[in-house]
A and B are shown apart, each in its own frame.
Chain A
Amino acid sequence: MNLFRKEIKFGLKSFLLWTLGLFMFVFAGIVKSSAAMADGQFMTELINKFPRIVVAVMGMANADISKFAGFYAVLMQYILVLTAVFAAHLGSRAVSRESVDKTYEFLFTKPRSRSFILARKLLASLVFLTAFACLNLVFSLLAVKQLGLEGDYTALYVRFSFALWFVGLVFFSLAAMFAAIFRVAEQGARAGNLAVMITYAAAVVYDLLEKPGVLRLFTPFRFFLNTEMIDGTVSVFFLLFCVALSAVSLFVTFRRFERRDLGAV
Protein backbone atom coordinates (compact mmCIF):
# COMPACT_ATOMS: atom_id res chain seq x y z
CA MET A 1 0.00 0.00 0.00
CA ASN A 2 2.88 2.35 0.69
CA LEU A 3 4.00 1.87 -2.91
CA PHE A 4 0.58 2.90 -4.11
CA ARG A 5 0.59 5.96 -1.87
CA LYS A 6 4.03 6.93 -3.08
CA GLU A 7 2.94 6.72 -6.70
CA ILE A 8 -0.06 8.93 -5.99
CA LYS A 9 2.12 11.46 -4.26
CA PHE A 10 4.62 11.40 -7.08
CA GLY A 11 2.05 11.94 -9.82
CA LEU A 12 0.04 14.60 -8.02
CA LYS A 13 1.88 17.61 -9.36
CA SER A 14 1.60 16.73 -13.03
CA PHE A 15 -2.01 15.69 -12.45
CA LEU A 16 -2.83 19.12 -11.06
CA LEU A 17 -1.22 20.74 -14.06
CA TRP A 18 -3.31 18.68 -16.47
CA THR A 19 -6.38 19.37 -14.39
CA LEU A 20 -5.73 23.07 -14.67
CA GLY A 21 -5.80 22.71 -18.46
CA LEU A 22 -9.04 20.78 -18.22
CA PHE A 23 -10.57 23.36 -15.92
CA MET A 24 -9.68 26.28 -18.16
CA PHE A 25 -10.97 24.55 -21.19
CA VAL A 26 -14.27 23.32 -19.85
CA PHE A 27 -15.12 26.63 -18.24
CA ALA A 28 -14.07 28.78 -21.14
CA GLY A 29 -15.86 26.50 -23.58
CA ILE A 30 -19.12 26.29 -21.73
CA VAL A 31 -19.27 29.94 -20.82
CA LYS A 32 -18.85 30.69 -24.48
CA SER A 33 -21.52 28.25 -25.61
CA SER A 34 -24.45 30.68 -25.37
CA ALA A 35 -22.83 33.13 -27.76
CA ALA A 36 -21.88 30.35 -30.13
CA MET A 37 -25.38 28.97 -30.10
CA ALA A 38 -26.89 32.36 -30.95
CA ASP A 39 -25.72 32.14 -34.52
CA GLY A 40 -25.22 28.41 -34.23
CA GLN A 41 -27.91 27.53 -36.74
CA PHE A 42 -26.29 29.71 -39.34
CA MET A 43 -22.83 28.41 -38.56
CA THR A 44 -23.96 24.81 -38.73
CA GLU A 45 -25.57 25.37 -42.10
CA LEU A 46 -22.55 27.25 -43.29
CA ILE A 47 -20.17 24.54 -42.17
CA ASN A 48 -22.12 21.97 -44.08
CA LYS A 49 -21.54 23.92 -47.27
CA PHE A 50 -17.81 23.45 -46.99
CA PRO A 51 -16.09 20.39 -48.41
CA ARG A 52 -15.90 17.46 -46.03
CA ILE A 53 -12.14 17.61 -45.71
CA VAL A 54 -12.23 21.15 -44.37
CA VAL A 55 -14.95 20.31 -41.90
CA ALA A 56 -13.16 17.17 -40.82
CA VAL A 57 -9.88 18.96 -40.23
CA MET A 58 -11.69 21.60 -38.19
CA GLY A 59 -13.17 18.85 -36.06
CA MET A 60 -16.69 20.03 -36.84
CA ALA A 61 -17.92 16.97 -38.69
CA ASN A 62 -21.50 16.01 -37.85
CA ALA A 63 -21.64 18.82 -35.34
CA ASP A 64 -24.80 20.78 -34.69
CA ILE A 65 -23.63 23.71 -32.64
CA SER A 66 -27.02 25.37 -32.65
CA LYS A 67 -27.89 23.21 -29.66
CA PHE A 68 -26.01 23.10 -26.39
CA ALA A 69 -25.47 19.34 -26.65
CA GLY A 70 -23.88 19.74 -30.08
CA PHE A 71 -21.60 22.47 -28.85
CA TYR A 72 -20.64 20.46 -25.80
CA ALA A 73 -19.79 17.51 -28.03
CA VAL A 74 -17.37 19.65 -30.06
CA LEU A 75 -15.79 20.84 -26.83
CA MET A 76 -15.43 17.27 -25.65
CA GLN A 77 -13.53 16.37 -28.80
CA TYR A 78 -10.74 18.65 -27.63
CA ILE A 79 -10.95 17.32 -24.09
CA LEU A 80 -10.72 13.83 -25.53
CA VAL A 81 -7.38 14.69 -27.16
CA LEU A 82 -6.19 16.17 -23.88
CA THR A 83 -7.26 13.04 -22.01
CA ALA A 84 -5.60 10.78 -24.55
CA VAL A 85 -2.24 12.54 -24.22
CA PHE A 86 -2.53 12.57 -20.44
CA ALA A 87 -3.46 8.88 -20.35
CA ALA A 88 -0.57 7.92 -22.64
CA HIS A 89 1.76 9.88 -20.39
CA LEU A 90 0.40 8.04 -17.34
CA GLY A 91 0.78 4.65 -19.01
CA SER A 92 4.37 4.99 -20.14
CA ARG A 93 5.41 6.63 -16.91
CA ALA A 94 3.96 3.83 -14.79
CA VAL A 95 6.05 1.27 -16.61
CA SER A 96 9.33 3.01 -17.23
CA ARG A 97 9.87 5.61 -14.54
CA GLU A 98 12.14 3.44 -12.40
CA SER A 99 14.31 2.69 -15.41
CA VAL A 100 14.53 6.33 -16.40
CA ASP A 101 15.39 7.41 -12.87
CA LYS A 102 17.79 4.49 -12.56
CA THR A 103 16.09 3.43 -9.36
CA TYR A 104 14.91 0.09 -10.72
CA GLU A 105 17.57 -1.79 -8.80
CA PHE A 106 16.28 -0.35 -5.60
CA LEU A 107 12.65 -1.17 -6.19
CA PHE A 108 12.77 -4.45 -8.04
CA THR A 109 15.03 -6.15 -5.54
CA LYS A 110 12.42 -5.72 -2.85
CA PRO A 111 10.56 -8.89 -1.93
CA ARG A 112 7.65 -8.23 -4.27
CA SER A 113 7.03 -9.64 -7.70
CA ARG A 114 7.35 -7.30 -10.64
CA SER A 115 3.69 -7.79 -11.42
CA PHE A 116 2.77 -6.80 -7.90
CA ILE A 117 4.73 -3.57 -8.22
CA LEU A 118 3.53 -2.84 -11.72
CA ALA A 119 -0.09 -3.48 -10.72
CA ARG A 120 0.13 -0.87 -7.99
CA LYS A 121 1.77 1.61 -10.28
CA LEU A 122 -0.86 1.12 -12.94
CA LEU A 123 -3.61 1.28 -10.36
CA ALA A 124 -2.33 4.58 -9.01
CA SER A 125 -2.24 5.95 -12.56
CA LEU A 126 -5.79 4.74 -13.15
CA VAL A 127 -6.87 6.66 -10.07
CA PHE A 128 -5.56 9.79 -11.77
CA LEU A 129 -7.35 8.96 -15.00
CA THR A 130 -10.58 8.33 -13.09
CA ALA A 131 -10.20 11.55 -11.14
CA PHE A 132 -9.62 13.37 -14.42
CA ALA A 133 -12.85 12.04 -15.92
CA CYS A 134 -14.75 12.80 -12.71
CA LEU A 135 -13.42 16.33 -12.64
CA ASN A 136 -14.61 16.78 -16.19
CA LEU A 137 -18.09 15.97 -14.93
CA VAL A 138 -17.76 18.30 -11.95
CA PHE A 139 -16.37 21.17 -14.00
CA SER A 140 -19.11 20.74 -16.59
CA LEU A 141 -21.82 20.85 -13.94
CA LEU A 142 -20.31 23.89 -12.26
CA ALA A 143 -19.72 25.76 -15.49
CA VAL A 144 -23.23 25.18 -16.75
CA LYS A 145 -24.64 26.29 -13.42
CA GLN A 146 -22.98 29.65 -14.08
CA LEU A 147 -24.80 29.79 -17.35
CA GLY A 148 -28.29 29.21 -15.98
CA LEU A 149 -29.13 27.05 -18.94
CA GLU A 150 -32.55 25.55 -19.36
CA GLY A 151 -32.86 21.79 -19.32
CA ASP A 152 -30.87 19.16 -17.51
CA TYR A 153 -27.81 17.86 -19.28
CA THR A 154 -26.35 15.86 -16.43
CA ALA A 155 -26.79 12.59 -18.32
CA LEU A 156 -24.87 14.06 -21.25
CA TYR A 157 -21.92 15.03 -19.05
CA VAL A 158 -21.92 11.64 -17.41
CA ARG A 159 -21.89 9.89 -20.78
CA PHE A 160 -19.04 12.02 -22.07
CA SER A 161 -17.06 11.63 -18.87
CA PHE A 162 -17.42 7.89 -19.18
CA ALA A 163 -16.30 8.11 -22.79
CA LEU A 164 -13.23 10.09 -21.67
CA TRP A 165 -12.42 7.40 -19.16
CA PHE A 166 -12.79 4.50 -21.56
CA VAL A 167 -10.89 6.12 -24.41
CA GLY A 168 -8.29 7.24 -21.90
CA LEU A 169 -8.05 3.66 -20.68
CA VAL A 170 -7.27 2.46 -24.20
CA PHE A 171 -4.43 4.94 -24.68
CA PHE A 172 -3.23 4.34 -21.16
CA SER A 173 -2.98 0.60 -21.80
CA LEU A 174 -1.41 1.01 -25.22
CA ALA A 175 1.23 3.38 -23.87
CA ALA A 176 1.97 1.02 -20.98
CA MET A 177 2.36 -1.82 -23.45
CA PHE A 178 4.75 0.12 -25.66
CA ALA A 179 6.77 1.14 -22.63
CA ALA A 180 7.03 -2.52 -21.63
CA ILE A 181 7.95 -3.69 -25.13
CA PHE A 182 10.64 -1.13 -25.98
CA ARG A 183 13.91 -1.48 -24.17
CA VAL A 184 14.68 2.20 -24.34
CA ALA A 185 12.13 4.16 -22.32
CA GLU A 186 12.19 7.14 -24.64
CA GLN A 187 11.23 4.95 -27.59
CA GLY A 188 8.33 3.53 -25.62
CA ALA A 189 7.07 6.98 -24.69
CA ARG A 190 7.42 8.11 -28.29
CA ALA A 191 5.42 5.13 -29.51
CA GLY A 192 2.67 5.95 -27.01
CA ASN A 193 2.47 9.55 -28.18
CA LEU A 194 2.59 8.50 -31.81
CA ALA A 195 -0.35 6.18 -31.16
CA VAL A 196 -2.38 9.18 -30.02
CA MET A 197 -1.39 11.27 -33.02
CA ILE A 198 -1.84 8.58 -35.62
CA THR A 199 -5.24 7.55 -34.31
CA TYR A 200 -6.25 11.21 -34.23
CA ALA A 201 -5.27 11.51 -37.87
CA ALA A 202 -7.31 8.37 -38.48
CA ALA A 203 -10.24 10.08 -36.78
CA VAL A 204 -9.96 13.00 -39.19
CA VAL A 205 -9.90 10.57 -42.10
CA TYR A 206 -12.92 8.86 -40.55
CA ASP A 207 -14.84 12.13 -40.62
CA LEU A 208 -13.68 12.71 -44.15
CA LEU A 209 -15.11 9.54 -45.59
CA GLU A 210 -18.77 9.05 -46.45
CA LYS A 211 -18.64 5.39 -45.44
CA PRO A 212 -15.66 4.88 -43.15
CA GLY A 213 -16.68 1.31 -42.24
CA VAL A 214 -14.04 -0.63 -40.32
CA LEU A 215 -11.82 2.42 -39.94
CA ARG A 216 -13.72 3.12 -36.74
CA LEU A 217 -12.05 0.12 -35.16
CA PHE A 218 -8.69 1.82 -35.52
CA THR A 219 -9.41 5.10 -33.88
CA PRO A 220 -10.46 5.20 -30.24
CA PHE A 221 -11.40 8.84 -30.87
CA ARG A 222 -14.42 7.56 -32.80
CA PHE A 223 -15.40 4.66 -30.57
CA PHE A 224 -17.98 6.98 -29.08
CA LEU A 225 -19.54 9.15 -31.75
CA ASN A 226 -20.91 12.54 -30.85
CA THR A 227 -24.32 11.75 -32.26
CA GLU A 228 -24.53 8.59 -30.20
CA MET A 229 -23.43 10.38 -27.08
CA ILE A 230 -26.06 13.07 -27.54
CA ASP A 231 -28.83 10.58 -28.24
CA GLY A 232 -27.69 8.27 -25.49
CA THR A 233 -27.33 5.34 -27.87
CA VAL A 234 -23.79 4.39 -26.88
CA SER A 235 -22.48 1.48 -28.91
CA VAL A 236 -22.18 -1.48 -26.59
CA PHE A 237 -19.88 -3.16 -29.06
CA PHE A 238 -17.35 -0.38 -28.92
CA LEU A 239 -17.62 -0.14 -25.17
CA LEU A 240 -16.69 -3.79 -24.94
CA PHE A 241 -14.08 -3.29 -27.63
CA CYS A 242 -12.46 -0.62 -25.46
CA VAL A 243 -12.34 -2.96 -22.52
CA ALA A 244 -11.05 -5.86 -24.61
CA LEU A 245 -8.36 -3.75 -26.26
CA SER A 246 -7.19 -2.45 -22.91
CA ALA A 247 -7.28 -5.89 -21.35
CA VAL A 248 -5.14 -7.36 -24.12
CA SER A 249 -2.67 -4.48 -23.96
CA LEU A 250 -2.37 -4.73 -20.21
CA PHE A 251 -1.97 -8.48 -20.42
CA VAL A 252 0.91 -8.03 -22.84
CA THR A 253 2.31 -5.30 -20.60
CA PHE A 254 2.44 -7.58 -17.57
CA ARG A 255 3.80 -10.50 -19.52
CA ARG A 256 6.54 -8.50 -21.16
CA PHE A 257 7.39 -6.65 -18.01
CA GLU A 258 7.67 -9.85 -16.01
CA ARG A 259 10.05 -11.35 -18.57
CA ARG A 260 12.13 -8.49 -19.80
CA ASP A 261 15.61 -7.59 -18.66
CA LEU A 262 15.49 -4.60 -16.44
CA GLY A 263 18.06 -1.95 -17.04
CA ALA A 264 18.63 1.73 -16.99
CA VAL A 265 17.00 3.75 -19.78
Chain B
Amino acid sequence: MNVFRFELKRAWVGALIWSLVLTGLLCGLITGALPAFMESRVAVENMLKSLPPAFAAAFGMQMDNLFSFGGFYAFGFLFYSLFGAIMASGIGLDLFSREKREKCMDFLLTKPRGRSRLFAEKLLASLTMIAASNVLFIAASLALYRAYAPQPLMLERALVAASSLLWMELLFFAVGTCIAVFAKRVRSVSGLSTAIGIGGFLLSALQSMLEEEKLNFINPFKYFDAAKAFFDGAFELKYALTGAVITIALMAAAYVRYTRADIPSL
Protein backbone atom coordinates (compact mmCIF):
# COMPACT_ATOMS: atom_id res chain seq x y z
CA MET B 1 0.00 0.00 0.00
CA ASN B 2 3.00 2.30 -0.32
CA VAL B 3 1.79 3.76 -3.62
CA PHE B 4 -1.58 4.45 -2.03
CA ARG B 5 0.05 6.30 0.86
CA PHE B 6 2.40 8.14 -1.45
CA GLU B 7 -0.40 9.37 -3.70
CA LEU B 8 -2.57 10.42 -0.79
CA LYS B 9 0.26 12.35 0.73
CA ARG B 10 0.87 14.25 -2.47
CA ALA B 11 -2.75 15.07 -3.26
CA TRP B 12 -4.74 15.39 -0.06
CA VAL B 13 -4.24 19.10 0.52
CA GLY B 14 -5.75 20.02 -2.84
CA ALA B 15 -8.67 17.69 -2.31
CA LEU B 16 -9.28 19.08 1.17
CA ILE B 17 -9.38 22.67 -0.10
CA TRP B 18 -11.84 21.74 -2.82
CA SER B 19 -14.01 19.89 -0.33
CA LEU B 20 -14.09 22.86 2.00
CA VAL B 21 -14.95 25.26 -0.82
CA LEU B 22 -17.69 22.94 -2.02
CA THR B 23 -19.23 22.36 1.37
CA GLY B 24 -18.76 26.03 2.29
CA LEU B 25 -20.64 27.05 -0.85
CA LEU B 26 -23.48 24.69 0.04
CA CYS B 27 -23.75 25.99 3.58
CA GLY B 28 -23.47 29.60 2.44
CA LEU B 29 -26.20 29.27 -0.16
CA ILE B 30 -28.64 27.44 2.08
CA THR B 31 -28.19 29.50 5.22
CA GLY B 32 -27.85 32.76 3.29
CA ALA B 33 -30.59 32.47 0.73
CA LEU B 34 -33.03 29.70 1.56
CA PRO B 35 -35.19 31.73 3.98
CA ALA B 36 -35.49 34.67 1.57
CA PHE B 37 -36.23 32.25 -1.24
CA MET B 38 -39.11 30.67 0.68
CA GLU B 39 -40.56 34.07 1.48
CA SER B 40 -40.64 35.04 -2.16
CA ARG B 41 -43.24 32.36 -2.78
CA VAL B 42 -46.05 34.73 -1.87
CA ALA B 43 -44.95 37.29 -4.43
CA VAL B 44 -44.61 34.67 -7.12
CA GLU B 45 -48.04 33.24 -6.35
CA ASN B 46 -49.59 36.67 -6.49
CA MET B 47 -48.08 37.17 -9.86
CA LEU B 48 -49.36 33.85 -11.10
CA LYS B 49 -52.90 34.85 -10.12
CA SER B 50 -52.75 37.66 -12.65
CA LEU B 51 -51.96 35.25 -15.45
CA PRO B 52 -54.33 33.25 -17.66
CA PRO B 53 -55.58 30.31 -15.54
CA ALA B 54 -54.24 27.59 -17.84
CA PHE B 55 -50.77 29.03 -17.68
CA ALA B 56 -50.91 29.53 -13.95
CA ALA B 57 -52.13 26.00 -13.40
CA ALA B 58 -49.28 24.53 -15.40
CA PHE B 59 -46.79 26.47 -13.44
CA GLY B 60 -48.57 26.21 -10.12
CA MET B 61 -48.16 22.46 -10.18
CA GLN B 62 -44.46 22.90 -9.67
CA MET B 63 -44.77 25.45 -6.89
CA ASP B 64 -44.61 23.00 -4.05
CA ASN B 65 -41.52 21.37 -5.44
CA LEU B 66 -39.87 24.63 -6.35
CA PHE B 67 -40.40 26.26 -3.00
CA SER B 68 -39.06 23.50 -0.86
CA PHE B 69 -35.74 22.65 0.63
CA GLY B 70 -35.23 20.12 -2.14
CA GLY B 71 -36.01 22.61 -4.87
CA PHE B 72 -33.54 25.12 -3.59
CA TYR B 73 -30.95 22.48 -2.79
CA ALA B 74 -31.11 21.10 -6.31
CA PHE B 75 -30.91 24.57 -7.75
CA GLY B 76 -27.45 25.06 -6.30
CA PHE B 77 -26.30 21.78 -7.78
CA LEU B 78 -25.22 23.34 -11.03
CA PHE B 79 -22.41 24.97 -9.10
CA TYR B 80 -21.60 22.11 -6.77
CA SER B 81 -21.42 19.95 -9.85
CA LEU B 82 -19.08 22.36 -11.59
CA PHE B 83 -16.71 22.44 -8.62
CA GLY B 84 -17.06 18.72 -8.02
CA ALA B 85 -16.31 18.01 -11.67
CA ILE B 86 -13.18 20.13 -11.60
CA MET B 87 -12.00 18.50 -8.40
CA ALA B 88 -12.72 14.93 -9.43
CA SER B 89 -11.33 15.15 -12.95
CA GLY B 90 -8.34 16.90 -11.45
CA ILE B 91 -7.73 14.00 -9.07
CA GLY B 92 -7.89 11.52 -11.91
CA LEU B 93 -5.60 13.60 -14.07
CA ASP B 94 -3.16 14.28 -11.27
CA LEU B 95 -2.71 10.78 -9.94
CA PHE B 96 -2.75 8.91 -13.20
CA SER B 97 -0.50 11.27 -15.12
CA ARG B 98 1.94 11.89 -12.28
CA GLU B 99 4.72 9.65 -13.61
CA LYS B 100 4.05 10.82 -17.16
CA ARG B 101 4.28 14.49 -16.17
CA GLU B 102 7.38 14.07 -14.12
CA LYS B 103 8.95 11.71 -16.61
CA CYS B 104 9.53 8.94 -14.14
CA MET B 105 7.42 6.14 -15.58
CA ASP B 106 10.61 4.06 -15.66
CA PHE B 107 11.08 4.56 -11.97
CA LEU B 108 7.67 3.33 -10.92
CA LEU B 109 7.19 0.62 -13.51
CA THR B 110 10.48 -1.14 -12.84
CA LYS B 111 9.50 -1.64 -9.24
CA PRO B 112 8.27 -5.10 -8.30
CA ARG B 113 4.59 -4.20 -8.52
CA GLY B 114 2.30 -5.32 -11.27
CA ARG B 115 0.69 -2.57 -13.25
CA SER B 116 -2.75 -3.74 -12.15
CA ARG B 117 -1.66 -3.32 -8.57
CA LEU B 118 -0.31 0.18 -9.25
CA PHE B 119 -3.55 1.09 -10.98
CA ALA B 120 -5.55 -0.31 -8.09
CA GLU B 121 -3.60 1.61 -5.47
CA LYS B 122 -3.89 4.87 -7.37
CA LEU B 123 -7.57 4.20 -7.87
CA LEU B 124 -8.02 3.51 -4.20
CA ALA B 125 -6.22 6.71 -3.24
CA SER B 126 -8.44 8.68 -5.60
CA LEU B 127 -11.61 7.07 -4.34
CA THR B 128 -10.56 7.70 -0.76
CA MET B 129 -10.26 11.41 -1.43
CA ILE B 130 -13.48 11.61 -3.41
CA ALA B 131 -15.33 9.60 -0.76
CA ALA B 132 -13.97 11.71 2.09
CA SER B 133 -14.98 14.87 0.28
CA ASN B 134 -18.47 13.51 -0.24
CA VAL B 135 -18.85 12.34 3.32
CA LEU B 136 -18.32 15.96 4.30
CA PHE B 137 -20.73 17.21 1.66
CA ILE B 138 -23.42 14.66 2.45
CA ALA B 139 -23.12 15.21 6.19
CA ALA B 140 -23.48 18.95 5.68
CA SER B 141 -26.45 18.39 3.37
CA LEU B 142 -28.24 16.21 5.88
CA ALA B 143 -27.52 18.58 8.74
CA LEU B 144 -28.88 21.50 6.71
CA TYR B 145 -31.87 19.42 5.71
CA ARG B 146 -32.68 18.70 9.34
CA ALA B 147 -32.27 22.33 10.23
CA TYR B 148 -34.22 23.91 7.38
CA ALA B 149 -36.73 21.44 5.98
CA PRO B 150 -40.22 21.23 7.50
CA GLN B 151 -41.49 18.01 9.07
CA PRO B 152 -41.88 15.22 8.16
CA LEU B 153 -38.28 14.69 7.21
CA MET B 154 -37.45 12.19 4.49
CA LEU B 155 -33.82 11.56 5.22
CA GLU B 156 -33.39 8.77 2.68
CA ARG B 157 -34.45 11.08 -0.11
CA ALA B 158 -32.09 13.77 1.08
CA LEU B 159 -29.36 11.16 1.21
CA VAL B 160 -29.98 9.95 -2.33
CA ALA B 161 -30.09 13.54 -3.57
CA ALA B 162 -26.86 14.44 -1.80
CA SER B 163 -25.20 11.32 -3.18
CA SER B 164 -25.78 12.58 -6.69
CA LEU B 165 -22.64 14.66 -6.36
CA LEU B 166 -20.63 11.54 -5.58
CA TRP B 167 -21.83 9.65 -8.66
CA MET B 168 -21.27 12.67 -10.86
CA GLU B 169 -17.77 13.07 -9.45
CA LEU B 170 -16.97 9.44 -10.17
CA LEU B 171 -17.95 10.03 -13.78
CA PHE B 172 -15.65 13.04 -14.05
CA PHE B 173 -12.92 11.20 -12.22
CA ALA B 174 -13.13 8.54 -14.91
CA VAL B 175 -12.93 11.20 -17.61
CA GLY B 176 -9.83 12.70 -16.01
CA THR B 177 -8.23 9.29 -15.53
CA CYS B 178 -8.87 8.32 -19.12
CA ILE B 179 -7.33 11.52 -20.46
CA ALA B 180 -4.36 11.11 -18.13
CA VAL B 181 -3.73 7.59 -19.31
CA PHE B 182 -4.33 8.10 -23.02
CA ALA B 183 -2.78 11.53 -23.56
CA LYS B 184 0.77 11.58 -24.79
CA ARG B 185 1.53 14.37 -22.42
CA VAL B 186 -0.35 16.24 -19.71
CA ARG B 187 0.89 19.80 -19.51
CA SER B 188 -1.30 21.27 -16.83
CA VAL B 189 -3.62 19.40 -14.52
CA SER B 190 -5.46 22.49 -13.36
CA GLY B 191 -5.86 23.80 -16.90
CA LEU B 192 -7.28 20.54 -18.18
CA SER B 193 -9.53 19.90 -15.22
CA THR B 194 -10.95 23.42 -15.43
CA ALA B 195 -11.62 22.89 -19.13
CA ILE B 196 -13.33 19.57 -18.40
CA GLY B 197 -15.48 21.10 -15.64
CA ILE B 198 -16.45 24.08 -17.81
CA GLY B 199 -17.20 21.64 -20.62
CA GLY B 200 -19.68 19.81 -18.39
CA PHE B 201 -21.14 23.12 -17.28
CA LEU B 202 -21.65 24.22 -20.88
CA LEU B 203 -23.29 20.95 -21.85
CA SER B 204 -25.62 21.41 -18.94
CA ALA B 205 -26.36 25.01 -19.89
CA LEU B 206 -26.90 23.88 -23.47
CA GLN B 207 -29.50 21.40 -22.35
CA SER B 208 -31.33 23.90 -20.18
CA MET B 209 -31.36 26.44 -22.99
CA LEU B 210 -32.64 24.06 -25.61
CA GLU B 211 -34.90 22.22 -23.17
CA GLU B 212 -34.48 19.23 -25.42
CA GLU B 213 -35.18 16.10 -23.43
CA LYS B 214 -32.77 14.00 -25.51
CA LEU B 215 -29.88 16.28 -24.72
CA ASN B 216 -29.93 14.98 -21.17
CA PHE B 217 -28.09 11.99 -22.51
CA ILE B 218 -25.05 14.16 -23.12
CA ASN B 219 -25.52 16.29 -20.02
CA PRO B 220 -23.20 14.79 -17.40
CA PHE B 221 -24.61 17.00 -14.65
CA LYS B 222 -28.05 15.49 -15.16
CA TYR B 223 -27.23 11.77 -15.16
CA PHE B 224 -27.69 11.81 -11.42
CA ASP B 225 -30.19 14.60 -10.91
CA ALA B 226 -30.51 15.81 -7.34
CA ALA B 227 -33.94 17.35 -7.92
CA LYS B 228 -35.31 14.12 -9.33
CA ALA B 229 -33.92 12.21 -6.36
CA PHE B 230 -35.47 14.61 -3.92
CA PHE B 231 -38.94 14.52 -5.36
CA ASP B 232 -39.14 10.94 -6.64
CA GLY B 233 -36.77 9.28 -4.21
CA ALA B 234 -34.60 7.90 -7.01
CA PHE B 235 -32.66 8.95 -10.07
CA GLU B 236 -34.19 8.54 -13.48
CA LEU B 237 -33.07 5.10 -14.49
CA LYS B 238 -32.14 5.72 -18.12
CA TYR B 239 -29.88 8.66 -17.29
CA ALA B 240 -28.34 7.08 -14.21
CA LEU B 241 -27.64 4.01 -16.29
CA THR B 242 -26.06 6.10 -19.02
CA GLY B 243 -23.83 7.75 -16.46
CA ALA B 244 -22.86 4.47 -14.84
CA VAL B 245 -22.09 2.81 -18.17
CA ILE B 246 -19.93 5.72 -19.30
CA THR B 247 -18.07 5.76 -15.99
CA ILE B 248 -17.36 2.05 -16.06
CA ALA B 249 -16.45 2.04 -19.74
CA LEU B 250 -13.99 4.89 -19.27
CA MET B 251 -12.41 3.27 -16.23
CA ALA B 252 -12.12 -0.05 -18.03
CA ALA B 253 -10.50 1.61 -21.02
CA ALA B 254 -8.09 3.44 -18.71
CA TYR B 255 -7.25 0.20 -16.91
CA VAL B 256 -6.53 -1.71 -20.10
CA ARG B 257 -4.40 1.08 -21.44
CA TYR B 258 -2.51 1.58 -18.19
CA THR B 259 -1.68 -2.08 -17.80
CA ARG B 260 -0.79 -2.76 -21.42
CA ALA B 261 0.77 0.33 -22.95
CA ASP B 262 4.39 0.40 -24.02
CA ILE B 263 6.34 2.93 -22.02
CA PRO B 264 8.41 5.00 -24.44
CA SER B 265 11.92 5.88 -23.42
CA LEU B 266 12.63 9.54 -22.88
Contacts and interface: CB of A to CB of B under 8 A. Distances in A.
- A–B touch (CB < 8 A): the answer is yes
Interface of A: 21, 24-25, 28-29, 31-32, 35-36, 42, 45-46, 49-51, 53-54, 57-58, 75, 78, 81-82, 85, 88-89, 92-93, 97, 100-102, 185-186, 189-190, 192-193, 196-197, 265
A68 B96 CA distance: 46
Nearest to B43: A49
Interface SS of chain A: helix
Contact of A32 (B29, B47, B185, B209): B209
A225 B141 CA distance: 35
A45 B185 CA distance: 50
A85 B188 CA distance: 13
10 contacts: A21-B199, A36-B209, A75-B209, A78-B202, A85-B194, A85-B198, A92-B191, A186-B190, A192-B191, A196-B194
Contacts, number: 92
B51 interface: yes
Interface of B: 29, 32-33, 36-37, 39-40, 43-44, 47, 51, 55, 72, 75-76, 79, 102-103, 185, 187-191, 194-195, 198-199, 201-202, 205-206, 209-211
B206 A49 contact: no
Contacts of A186: 188-190
A25 B202 contact: yes
Nearest to B194: A193
A186 B10 CA distance: 14
B36 A189 contact: no
A29 B209 contact: yes
A46 B62 CA distance: 14
A89 B191 contact: yes
Contact of A193 (B37, B79, B103, B191): B191
Given A57-B33, A78-B202, A92-B188, 8 more contacts: A25-B206, A49-B40, A50-B40, A53-B37, A54-B33, A58-B75, A82-B202, A265-B102
